[in-house]
Amino acid sequence: MNILYLNHYAGSPRHGMEYRPYYLAREWVRAGHRVRTLAADFSHVRSRQPQQLGVELIDGIEYEWFASPPYQGNGLGRVKNIWAFQRALWAANARIVAEVAPQVVIASSTYPMDIWVARRLARMAKAKLVFEVHDLWPLSPIELSGMSPHHPFALLCGWAEKTAYRDADVVVSMLPKVHDYMASRGLDLRKLHIVPNGISPDDWAAAPDPASQDIVFQATVFSSLLQDETQERLAQAMWQWLKPGGAVLWYDFCMDNPRNREVRGVPLSRVQALFPQGRLKAQRLTLAPPIARRVCRLHPSLYHLFNALPLLRSHRLVWIQKS
């Protein structure tokens, strides 16, 4: 099968994040399929950018890089970058279909606006159209960034989202609890398949050697491990990996998430119990996101005012020293 995978931010072990497109494509190639990934040559999440435009072969995957301007942050520069990538795909769609002859076209660029060019490619090739959801746009920028639902960018995202739910043959979401929301946006739930992120066992066949690491960093892992035994096994492994004098750097929720029962805050007493031989230095950080969203809609400067109250901070940073 020939698979065309549109992902603006696609990465690889050579370039850094995003890794999901790489690992999915690698497994499809191993299964005997041909995959071409279409991506922009600049992405803020990569640690290294591609060195040249055009097709590059990485572990059997055809990456095709398209010119796009660099940017910082989430302002006009990023919008220009998105526009440049989409325009380049539209200009090249006939050539791409002729070269790849795709039987499946996957739109998977985090933002939903790639659905239009993906739909065009699928129709030209008489291929199945798949829409892959990373985040719920425009809901994510509205909820997380305080964007008005009436902002032109939010309206554009909403239009693209509804188009995707209507026209895609299959919708894949890595988010598990989206059924009600997507149905409210017009999706026939018979199209929906939940495919969360996973791990590649090949990459984790060998654990770090004992006493080989200066720092072991964990961020919001333990608050999602709801079984005490699992937490304890991971903590023991992390402690064994540390050199004498090394430390665990811990950043995690210290309070429960009332909107998500699968996130459980880890109190400082539990951190000490997980690392009984460690010397702890701790500080509460990060204004609780629901409060931050509300106050920043009034004025961004209010974040610092409310964050000055430790009881409103939802996370804890802990340095756990190994003697």
The 10s digit of each residue's pLDDT in 185-223 is 999 999 999 999 988 888 877 888 999 999 999 999 999
Do 142 and 14 belong together in one domain? yes
The pLDDT value recorded for residue 35 is: 98
Final residue before a domain boundary, out of 130, 165, 194 = 194
Do 28 and 146 belong together in one domain? yes
The pLDDT value recorded for residue 75 is: 87
CA distance 39 to 46: 12
Do 9 and 158 belong together in one domain? yes
The pLDDT value recorded for residue 199 is: 81
Length of the chain: 323
Instruction: For residue 137, give the CATH number of its domain.
Output: 3.40.50.2000
pTM metric for this prediction: 0.79
Confidence of residue 145 (pLDDT cuts 50, 70, 90): confident
Region 232-248: mean pLDDT is: 97
The pLDDT value recorded for residue 175 is: 93
> Roughly what angle, to the nearest 10 degrees, separates helices 115-125 and 76-100?
10
Final residue before a domain boundary, out of 129, 162, 194 = 194
Instruction: For residue 267, give the CATH number of its domain.
Output: 3.40.50.150
pLDDT in tens, 96-121: 999 999 999 999 999 999 999 999 99
199 in a structural domain: no
Final residue before a domain boundary, out of 170, 194, 218 = 194
71 in a structural domain: yes
**Domain assignment of residue 247, given as a range:** 207-321
How many domains does one find in the chain? 2
The pLDDT value recorded for residue 207 is: 81
Q: How many helices (H) and strands (E) does the chain have?
A: 10, 12
